Amino acid sequence: MPVILHKGGRLARYCPKCGSARIKWVLPQIWSIYNCMECGYRGSLIIDDKKLAEKIRQKFLKSLKNK
Ligand SMILES: [Zn+2]
């Protein structure tokens, strides 16, 4: 299974829902659809901005604690 590798940050991809970098392609044939291994997000929208990802991550972790 293809796993996103980080090389110098440029190829880093983050989940727009939880900010996790643990996302992977659902199917190699449909490479534009990503699946987040942490929150279960699935879609073609991903972010590559590390600062934004960290913000989303913090919000997500807070929302987990509040439950
Ligand atoms: Zn996620």
Tens-digit pLDDT profile for residues 5-63: 544 445 688 999 999 999 988 777 766 889 999 999 999 999 999 999 999 999 999 99
Whether this model's pTM surpasses 0.85: no
Structure tokens at 22: 């643990």
Position 20, amino acid: S
Number of residues in the chain: 67
Number of domains in the chain: 1
Quick one: pLDDT at residue 26? Answer: 79
* CB-based contact 3:25 (threshold 8 Å): no
Cα–Cα distance for residue pair 61/1, rounded to 1 Å:
27
Cα 37 to ligand 1 centroid, rounded to whole Å: 7
* Domain membership of residue 25 as a residue range: 1-67
Cα 56 to ligand 1 centroid, rounded to whole Å: 10
Cα 6 to ligand 1 centroid, rounded to whole Å: 17
> What protein residues have CB closer than 5 angstroms to ion ligand 1?
15, 17-18, 20, 36, 38-39, 41
